[in-house]
Amino acid sequence: MTKFRCRAAALAGFIAGAAIAAGSGCSKPQPGSDAVSEPPKTAEDNYKPPPEGTPLVQSLTAHRESDGQVKVTGKILLPATTRVWVEMYPAATTARSPQEQLLGRSELYLDPGGSFEAGPFKLTGSGPFRVLVTSYFSRSWQPPDVLRVVGIKGTRLPKSALKLDNPQSPEGGGHLEYFGSLTVSVP
| Residues in the chain where the model's pLDDT stays below 50 | 1-40, 95, 98
Residue range 57-184, CATH number: 2.60.40
pLDDT at site 179: 93
Q: What is the pLDDT of residue 91?
A: 86
Note the pLDDT of residue 167.
Answer: 86
Scanning 109-167, the segments in alpha helix (DSSP H) are 144-150
Q: List the domain boundaries for the chain.
A: 57-184
If one counts every other C-beta atom within 10 angstroms of the C-beta of residue 109, the result is 14
What end-to-end distance do the CA atoms of the chain give, in Å?
83
Q: Would you list the DSSP string of 43-89?
A: TTSS--PPPTT--SEEEEEEEE-TTS-EEEEEEESS-TT-EEEEEEE
For 108-136, how does the pLDDT look when each residue is reduced to its tens digit (9 = 90+)? 999 999 999 999 999 988 899 999 999 99
Q: What does pTM read for this prediction?
A: 0.72
Dist. CA 149–CA 53, nearest whole Å: 18
pLDDT at residue 57, rounded to an integer: 97
Per-residue confidence (pLDDT) for residue 22, from 0 to 100: 41
In Å, how far are 47, 146, 164 from 153, measured between CA atoms?
17, 11, 9
Per-residue model confidence (pLDDT) at position 185: 85
Q: Would you say 175 and 141 are in contact if contact means Cβ atoms under 8 Å apart? A: no
pLDDT of residue 12: 43
- What's the CA gap between 164 and 172, in Å, rounded? 8
pLDDT at 33: 38
